Amino acid sequence: MSTVPVPSPTLTAVPTILPLLPWWKQAVFYEVFVRSFNDSNGDGIGDFNGITQKLDYLQNLGVTALWLMPIHPSPSYHGYDVINYFNVNPDYGSLEDFKHLLAEAHRRGIHVIIDLVLNHTSNQNPLFIDANNNPQSPYRNWYLWSDTDPETSGLNGPAWHAGKFGYYYGIFSDSMPDLNYTNPDVTAFLEKVVHFWLTNVDADGFRLDAVKYLIEEGQKLENTHSTHLWLQDFYSSYKAEKKDAYTVGEVYGAGAFLAKTYTGNQLDQVFNFEMASGFVNSAAGEANSGVNSAITFMLQDMPDGQFATFLTNHDQNRVMSVLNGNVNKAKIAAAILLTAPGTPFIYYGEEIGMQGKKPDEDIRLPMQWSAQANAGFSTTTPWRAPAADYLQVNVTAESSDPNSLLNFYRELIAIRSKHSALQNGSLTLVASENPGVYSILRKDASERILVLMNLTRLAINNYNLNVKNAPVPDGFHTLSSIFGSGTFASVDVKNHAFASFKPVNELPPYSLYILNLNP
């Protein structure tokens, strides 16, 4: 994609210091499924000490924050049905092991947030067991009950499930009964949970699972007014607990319009699924329509970039599988993500091109560290076998290859961390006469950056760029390279616009240029 030398794998990016911004506005997150990341004790299951062992790798990658998928005791492999909110899954180690991980991450300037499953508990949670066994239980009203079956559909079948005394509501499944947030005792309990993890343990915040389903209003099961009101109180509560605590909400399917209804005084950010789809669709289809559409809606509804971005996550087929194993397309997808507004999240293994398609277990396979037995993940048989391509696709092999996907991620994360305009600058979409070309302008008080990509497998020379109302002063501007080599034309800006501009004569296949505009 570029002849610019890739920095040494030992290079550690130094984030730009912007003290007036909250830390998550400058962060690059890394999503970790603890069970599959690194096994430190040879039992075939990833653990907290395994993550601690790999913090140098993560720091070298350039990420500055971690999101750990559920770490609480749970009867399932995935952990999204919690038995105890005040402890950790013994498969992953002890609470002291987790605190040690936090301390070591913080020492490296890496924040750590954990998954908090608010909407429901496990049906094996002692609270639910008591409520189900006894209609007079003090926890009975912590859940939603009906004497008869309302026969409402849930997300994966019926929403109501037969209990010992009536039917209980669980929008996901019978093993995940929904909590009743119209009961103030449930809210008070949740506040104790938040206090424990933020203050007693010193976590930095939470990813809130399934947050749009918290409170139902009759037949309206998601994104209700009552949910928004509850989150406003929740926001005040956790900010009072720790003012720099961060929350990011999973509002599945959200674009900028829906995401903005949850931010400001409810959650710090929400994942922008519309942007993610646009990023991946444009990389896969080699056309700018997907990402341009997503950005157009973003500029209309959330131009401040106050949302979280990603390519794919633990609930979706891995991006490399969506891209049919094409490393060049994976680099394009990464480049779109890491030059876009918002706080980017990278799913573990994405940076080396791990593949995986549903069922969910196969998109959460062990991390591929090396070509050694069990992909270097464990000294024994892992909880699930690694993907067959680990002999070629692994951290060790890619670290020594200057053209690898891993080193491309390292370089792009380092560039983003050094350039404040790429983190939090405004975005102006630059029109191209060629649908295979994607271009944007990022601007803040200190710099103006032009991002230019050829999304296609063919060289392009007919791609004139045009933009109106550009955040660039009138006059001639020279271009200097942050990423990408070549001889660059100057641009004459008139009335804050330019037309028929070609920074380079020809864009090589799948090429990326990140260019400073210098008056």
Residues classed as catalytic: 209, 250
Please give the backbone phi and psi of residue 144, each rounded to the nearest 5 degrees, phi first.
-105, 125
Neighbouring C-beta atoms of residue 336, cutoff 10 Å = 28
Q: Comparing C-alpha atoms, which of 44, 37, 36 is closest to residue 58?
A: 37
Please give the backbone phi and psi of residue 19, each rounded to the nearest 5 degrees, phi first.
-65, -20
Neighbouring C-beta atoms of residue 133, cutoff 10 Å = 12
Token reading at 294: 């997503």
DSSP characters for 4-60? SPPPPTT--------TTS-GGGS--EEEE-GGGT--SSSSSS--HHHHHHTHHHHHH
Residue/partner pairs of 493-499 with CB below 8 Å, 24 or more apart: 496/468, 496/469, 496/470, 496/471, 496/472, 497/466, 497/467, 497/468, 497/469, 497/470, 498/465, 498/466, 498/467, 498/470, 498/472, 499/464, 499/466
- Residues 203, 95: contact at Cβ < 8 Å? no
Rounded Cα gap, residues 191 and 177, in angstroms: 20
DSSP state of 225: H
Spatial neighbors of 359 by CB under 8 A, at least 6 apart, are none
- Residues 510, 456: contact at Cβ < 8 Å? yes
Q: Comparing C-alpha atoms, which of 76, 68, 1 is closest to residue 29?
A: 68
Give the three-state DSSP class for 139.
coil
Alpha helices (H) in 166-221, listed in sequence order: 184-195
The residues pairing with 167 across neighbouring beta strands, listed in sequence order, are 146, 162
DSSP state of 400: T
